């Protein structure tokens, strides 16, 4: 794969592999390191430092040296929009409206997955593309299996506070989360940084697991048993996250992938069956709306608690506040003025919708740029849907799009960098203009 590659490509390749391999465990590893050695900024930002200080400059250098690679990248409208979006972010980060640290954090968070997308494209054009893609897929699949198996253990066997042995605490990341502070209603996080981040990651993971299952099901019995175990672990982990947005996202992604993979006759049958199942489920929920199960699972509200925290009202208040903010400041208030990046600044502002977050920071124009980018990506994936991995990415993309309406899912590095990194490889892998560096 790297036999004829330059030193720059070799270094870029191995750094990319390291980042992809460690992303599912970043929160776990960094929490343990910080709890033992301090140096919180370094251990939290190691991947961004590698990406923006080493990997992206190397990728640009490789592209500039090879005219064919450079031309392919420059002519791609997705890359053109990424560059425009990046320039827009930089311009609106300069005023540092919420402080310099928040502005820098906002730039890194808004652009890291797009930067990795570019790096992935350059690498896929510079090495044996199919082998590179297979290696990255294997790494993602093995990482996903570890995440869901550990998640299943958290649901079934491990003590709720097991992660405290690895430095998890209220000062860094809690070892577990609850609903309404009820210790009997626990939300797991596996190796990610929270239950919602875990749930959103599974919206990306489950379509990939589905296409892997379809490919491997004809193998030996032991492979089939292993796949069944992984599926059970994945579903247990999804349930244990108690992330309602993820449940919706998984249903949407699953329906999308199913409709892409079946013929017209079965598509009609599945639509009818799915509609009937939705009606029956709706009736069951309606008839048992006041039950403890429905209240805690769907509404995240314990009916036995008098002073409960209504998370739905909190979501609604956050969205209303963000909408008013965008209407009153249509040009945006600058990078670093919303969500996680804003917590590094003078005033924290949590927006539970990724698109509204972008609108708060970059204004209506910046938000439209980002949505246009997403539309182009969706169109490209649709064009490549005959490729099973592209179909899985498309299904996950639709599910994640829905999740981002309820939570800032693209703000989580594990999900966003893995999805966009794999997408960059898939887009180039289907191109007939594959280039090998000399």
CA distances (Å), origin 408, targets 161, 174, 315: 26, 19, 12
Q: Are 428 and 125 in contact (CB under 8 A)?
A: yes
Look up tokens 């208040």; give the residue: 317
Mean pLDDT of 90-115: 94
Give the three-class secondary structure for 52.
Answer: helix
Q: 179: helix, coil or strand?
A: strand
Assess whether pLDDT exceeds 70 at residue 370. yes
* CA-atom Rg of the chain in angstroms: 22
pLDDT greater than 80 at residue 285: no
Token readout for 174 is 């809690």
Residue 295 pLDDT: 61
Distance CA 24, CA 205 (A): 11
Structure tokens at 398: 């639709």
Cα 409 to Cα 231: distance, rounded to the nearest angstrom: 23
Q: 339: how many CB neighbours lie within 10 A of its CB?
A: 25
Q: Mapping DSSP to helix (H, G, I), strand (E, B) and coil, where does residue 288 land?
A: coil
pLDDT band at 432 (very low <50, low <70, confident <90, very high): very low
pLDDT band with cut points at 50, 70 and 90 for residue 272: confident
Encoded tokens for 186: 């626990």
Q: What pLDDT sits at residue 137? A: 95
Helices H / strands E in the chain, number of each: 19, 2
CB 388 within 8 A of CB 174: no
The pLDDT-based confidence of 412 (bands split at 50, 70, 90) is very high
Q: Is the pLDDT of residue 3 over 70?
A: no
Phi, psi of 136 (to 5 degrees): -60, -40
Q: What is the C-alpha to C-alpha distance for residues 88 and 337, in angstroms, rounded to an integer?
A: 15
The band of 59, judged by pLDDT with boundaries at 50, 70 and 90, is very high
Task: List, in order, residues 6 or more apart from 150 with CB less than 8 Å away.
Answer: 190, 191
Average pLDDT along the chain? 88
Structure confidence by residue, pLDDT tens digits, 301-337: 666 665 555 566 777 777 888 889 899 999 999 999 9
Position 2 scores a pLDDT of 75
Q: What is the pLDDT of residue 311?
A: 63
pLDDT tens track for 117-160: 999 999 999 987 788 999 999 999 999 999 999 999 999 999 99
User: Would you state the pLDDT for residue 436?
Assistant: 47
**Distance of alpha carbon 294 from alpha carbon 301, whole angstroms:** 9
Residue 198, pLDDT > 60, answer yes
24 and 147 Cβ atoms separated by less than 8 Å: yes
Token reading at 148: 């869901």
> Does 87 score more than 50 pLDDT?
yes
pLDDT tops 50 at residue 214: yes
């Amino acid at each position: 794969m790297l036999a004829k590659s330059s030193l720059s490509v070799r270094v870029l390749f191995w750094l990319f592999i390291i980042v992809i391999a460690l992303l599912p465990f970043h929160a776990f590893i960094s929490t343990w390191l910080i709890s033992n050695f301090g140096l919180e900024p370094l251990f939290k930002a190691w991947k961004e430092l590698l990406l923006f200080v080493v990997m992206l400059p190397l990728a640009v250098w490789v592209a500039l040296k090879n005219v064919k690679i450079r031309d392919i990248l420059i002519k791609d409208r997705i890359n053109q929009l990424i560059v425009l979006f990046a320039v827009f972010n930089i311009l609106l980060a300069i005023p540092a409206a919420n402080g310099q640290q928040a502005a820098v954090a906002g730039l890194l968070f808004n652009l890291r997955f797009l930067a990795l997308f570019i790096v992935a494209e350059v690498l896929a054009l510079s090495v044996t593309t199919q082998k590179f893609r297979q290696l990255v897929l294997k790494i993602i699949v093995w990482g996903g299996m570890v995440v869901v198996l550990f998640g299943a253990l958290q649901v079934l066997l491990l003590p709720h506070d097991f992660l405290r042995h690895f430095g998890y605490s209220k000062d860094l990341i809690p070892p577990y989360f609850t609903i309404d502070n009820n210790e009997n209603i626990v939300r797991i996080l596996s190796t990610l940084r929270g239950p919602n981040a875990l749930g959103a990651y599974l919206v990306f993971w489950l379509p990939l697991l589905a296409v892997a299952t379809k490919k491997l099901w004809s193998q030996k019995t032991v492979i089939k048993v292993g796949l069944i175990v992984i599926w059970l672990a994945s579903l247990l982990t999804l349930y244990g996250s108690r992330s309602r947005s993820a449940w919706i996202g998984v249903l949407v992604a699953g329906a999308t992938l199913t409709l892409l993979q079946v013929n017209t006759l079965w598509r009609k049958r599945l639509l009818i069956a799915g509609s009937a199942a939705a009606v029956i489920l709706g009736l069951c929920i309606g008839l048992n709306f006041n039950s403890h199960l429905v209240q805690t699972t769907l509404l995240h509200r314990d009916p036995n608690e008098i002073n409960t925290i209504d998370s739905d009202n909190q979501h609604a208040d956050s969205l209303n506040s963000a909408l008013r903010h965008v209407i009153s400041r249509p040009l945006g208030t600058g990078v670093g003025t919303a969500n996680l990046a804003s917590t590094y600044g003078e005033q924290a502002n949590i927006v539970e919708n990724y698109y509204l977050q972008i609108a708060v920071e970059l204004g209506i124009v910046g938000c439209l740029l980002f949505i246009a980018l997403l539309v182009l990506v969706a169109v490209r994936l649709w064009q490549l849907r005959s490729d099973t991995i592209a179909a899985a990415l498309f299904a996950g993309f639709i599910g994640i799009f829905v999740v981002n309406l309820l939570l800032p899912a693209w703000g989580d590095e594990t999900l966003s960098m893995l999805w966009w990194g794999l997408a960059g490889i898939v887009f180039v892998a289907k191109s007939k203009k594959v280039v090998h560096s000399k």
